[in-house]
C-alpha cells in the first residue's frame, strides 16, 4: 500500500477542501447532473459544528500529498448507538487499486472501537442502470464487502414551478376539513417546535424501513434548534408546513430545504400522525409547502425527493406533481462480525 489514511481536521481549510474534492468528483463521475452532493461549505459547516447528537469524522487516503479517496463516519450519540454511518468515495482515476477497501476497513475499525455493531451507508446508481445496481461500482463494492441493500429508494426530480392549476387540482382532493394549515420559512415557530421535533424523530421508523436495524430517534428541542442553527450556517433555507388539529396539535408536517450553493430544493421529512392518517393530510401539507416555496423562492427550479420504492402511495402523488425518477439509492447495512 503506497498511501496512508489520515483524519481530517475540520478547521484545516485546505485539508477539508481536498477531502471534499475527492468526494464530489467520485459522486459526479457515476451520477452526472443528478449527483446529489452536499456543497463544500455545507460539508465544512457540518464537520465543524459541535454536536451533542452526532460524532462526525472525516478521513482521507493520501498518496504523494494528494487525496486519492475520502471517507466519513457518523456516530449517533443519543439513540441508535449501535450504528455507524459511513461514506467512502474514490475518484475514478484512483479506483480498483484497493483505496476504497482500505478506507472502508479504516472506518469500520473506528466504528467497532466506538462500540458500533451495525454499519450503514447509502449508495446511488443511475436510473439507466439495472434496477438492482448490478455492475455499478457502489453496488459491486458493497457486495464484495458483505453489505446488503436493506431497503431500496428512488431519487426523483421535479422541475419547478409546478403550474398553479396542477396544485389546485390536487388541493381539491385534500380539503383537510377540520384542520388549520400553517406555513413558514426559517426556524419552526416556538409554539410548534416540541411536537414538530417529536414527529420528525419518528420519521425514520414510521416510513418504510425494509430490513434496516434501527430504533426510533429521541427528540429534544435544544438538539432540534442546534440542527436549525447548522442549517442557517450552511446558508440553507427551510420551508415548513403543518396541519393542526382544532385543539392545536400537529397532525401532519412536511419540510423542504433549499441549498444556497446548488440552488436545489430538497424534500426532507413528511409525516402524518397515526390517528390522523387516511385524510390526505400528507398531500395537503406537501402542496401547501410547495406553493409557499414557489412564491418565496422563485429562482428555485429543481426539487429532489427520495422515497422507498415500496411506498406506492407517495410515489403516485409525486408522479402527479411531475416528479420523474432520476436515480436509485440503496440503503446498505452490514453487521460487524
Ligand atoms: C465504490 C468505490 C468506493 C470503490 O472504490 P475502489 O477504490 O475502486 O474500491 P477497491 O479498489 O477497494 O475495490 C474492491 C473490490 O470492490 C469491487 N468493485 C469495486 N468497483 C467495482 C466495479 N466498478 N465493478 C465491479 N466490482 C467492483 C471489486 O470486487 C473490487 O475488487 P477487485 O478490484 O480486486 O476486483 C468507488 O467506486 C466510489 O467512490 N464510488 C462512488 C461512491 C460509492 O458508491 N461508495 C460506496 C459506498 S459508501
CATH numbers and ranges of domains, the chain: 4-146 (3.40.630.30), 158-330 (3.40.630.30)
Render pLDDT for 229-255 as a digit per residue (tens, 0 to 9): 999 999 999 999 999 999 999 999 999
**Residue 210: predicted pLDDT:** 82
Measure Cα distances from 19 to 26, 39, 89, 160, 162 in Å.
11, 12, 10, 32, 37
- The answer to whether the beta carbons of residues 193 and 221 sit under 8 Å apart is yes
Residue nearest (by alpha carbon) to ligand 1 atom 31? 96
Report CA(96)–ligand 1 centroid distance (Å). 6
pLDDT of residue 149 exceeding 80? yes
pLDDT of residue 196 exceeding 80? yes
Band of pLDDT at residue 14, cut at 50, 70 and 90: very high
Asked whether 121 lines ligand 1 (CB < 6 A), one says yes
Q: State which ligand 1 atom lies nearest to the alpha carbon of 88.
A: 48
Strands 324-335 and 148-159: antiparallel
**Residue 90: predicted pLDDT:** 98
Max Cα-Cα span within the chain: 66
Report CA(90)–ligand 1 centroid distance (Å). 8
SS3 114: coil
- Quote the CA–CA distance of 65 and 76 in Å, as a whole number: 32
pLDDT of residue 157 exceeding 80? yes
Q: State which ligand 1 atom lies nearest to the alpha carbon of 94.
A: 7
Question: Of all residues in the chain, what percent carry a pLDDT higher than 70?
Answer: 100
Phi, psi at 81, each rounded to 5°: -80, 5
pLDDT of residue 337 exceeding 80? no
Question: Of all residues in the chain, what percent carry a pLDDT higher than 90?
Answer: 88
Report CA(100)–ligand 1 centroid distance (Å). 6
Report CA(95)–ligand 1 centroid distance (Å). 7
Residue labelled with grid coordinates 427550479: 301
Burial 191-211, CB ≥16 within 10 A → b, else e:
ebbebbbbbbbbbbeebeeee
Asked whether 137 lines ligand 1 (CB < 6 A), one says yes
pLDDT of residue 1 exceeding 70? no
Write down the mean pLDDT value for the chain.
95
pLDDT of residue 172 exceeding 70? yes
Name the residue of 30, 94, 100 whose CB sits within 8 Å of the most ligand 1 atoms, as the mutation to test its pocket: 100
pLDDT of residue 313 exceeding 90? no
Report CA(161)–ligand 1 centroid distance (Å). 38
Band of pLDDT at residue 201, cut at 50, 70 and 90: confident
Q: Which three cell numbers stand for residue 96?
A: 480498483
Contacts of 209 (CB under 8 A, 6+ apart): 150, 151
Band of pLDDT at residue 204, cut at 50, 70 and 90: confident
Asked whether 101 lines ligand 1 (CB < 6 A), one says yes
Residue nearest (by alpha carbon) to ligand 1 atom 43? 138
Render pLDDT for 17-56 as a digit per residue (tens, 0 to 9): 999 999 999 999 999 989 999 999 999 999 999 999 999 9
Asked whether 235 lines ligand 1 (CB < 6 A), one says no
- The answer to whether the beta carbons of residues 329 and 306 sit under 8 Å apart is yes
Q: Which long-range contacts (CB under 8 A, 24 or more apart) does 87-90 make?
A: 87/23, 87/121, 87/122, 88/121, 88/141, 89/22, 89/23, 89/25, 89/26, 89/27, 90/22, 90/26, 90/61
What average pLDDT score do residues 137-160 get? 96
Asked whether 88 lines ligand 1 (CB < 6 A), one says yes
DSSP-derived letter for residue 7 is E
Asked whether 141 lines ligand 1 (CB < 6 A), one says yes
What average pLDDT score do residues 80-101 get? 97
Amino acid at each position: 500500500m503506497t498511501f496512508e489514511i489520515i483524519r481530517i481536521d475540520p478547521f484545516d481549510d485546505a485539508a477539508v477542501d481536498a477531502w471534499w474534492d475527492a468526494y464530489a468528483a467520485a459522486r459526479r463521475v457515476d451520477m452526472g447532473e443528478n449527483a446529489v452532493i452536499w456543497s463544500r461549505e455545507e460539508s465544512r459547516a457540518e464537520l465543524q459544528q459541535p454536536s451533542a447528537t452526532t460524532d462526525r469524522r472525516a478521513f482521507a487516503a493520501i498518496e504523494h500529498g494528494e487525496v486519492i479517496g475520502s471517507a466519513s463516519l457518523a456516530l449517533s450519540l443519543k439513540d441508535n448507538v449501535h450504528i455507524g454511518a459511513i461514506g467512502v468515495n474514490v475518484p475514478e482515476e484512483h479506483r480498483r487499486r484497493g483505496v476504497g477497501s482500505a478506507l472502508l476497513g479504516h472506518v469500520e475499525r473506528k466504528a467497532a472501537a466506538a462500540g458500533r455493531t451495525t454499519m450503514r451507508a447509502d449508495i446511488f446508481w443511475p436510473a439507466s442502470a439495472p434496477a438492482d445496481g448490478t455492475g455499478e461500482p457502489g453496488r459491486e463494492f458493497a457486495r464484495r464487502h458483505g453489505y446488503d441493500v436493506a431497503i431500496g429508494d428512488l431519487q426523483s426530480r421535479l422541475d419547478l414551478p409546478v403550474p398553479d392549476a396542477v396544485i389546485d387540482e390536487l388541493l381539491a382532493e385534500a380539503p383537510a376539513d377540520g384542520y388549520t394549515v400553517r406555513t413558514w420559512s426559517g426556524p419552526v415557530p416556538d409554539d410548534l417546535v416540541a411536537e414538530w421535533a417529536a414527529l420528525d424523530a419518528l420519521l425514520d421508523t414510521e416510513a418504510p424501513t425494509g430490513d434496516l436495524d434501527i430504533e426510533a430517534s429521541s427528540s429534544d428541542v435544544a438538539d432540534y434548534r442546534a440542527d436549525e442553527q447548522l442549517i442557517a450556517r450552511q446558508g440553507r433555507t427551510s420551508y415548513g408546513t403543518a396541519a393542526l388539529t382544532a385543539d392545536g396539535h400537529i397532525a401532519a408536517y412536511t419540510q423542504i430545504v433549499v441549498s444556497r450553493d446548488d440552488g436545489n430544493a430538497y424534500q426532507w421529512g413528511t409525516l402524518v400522525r397515526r390517528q390522523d392518517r387516511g385524510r390526505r393530510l400528507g398531500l395537503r401539507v406537501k402542496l401547501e409547502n410547495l406553493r409557499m416555496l414557489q412564491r418565496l423562492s422563485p429562482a428555485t427550479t429543481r426539487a429532489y425527493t427520495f422515497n422507498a420504492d415500496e411506498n406506492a402511495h407517495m410515489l403516485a402523488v409525486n408522479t402527479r406533481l411531475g416528479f420523474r425518477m432520476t436515480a436509485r439509492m440503496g440503503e446498505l447495512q452490514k453487521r460487524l462480525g
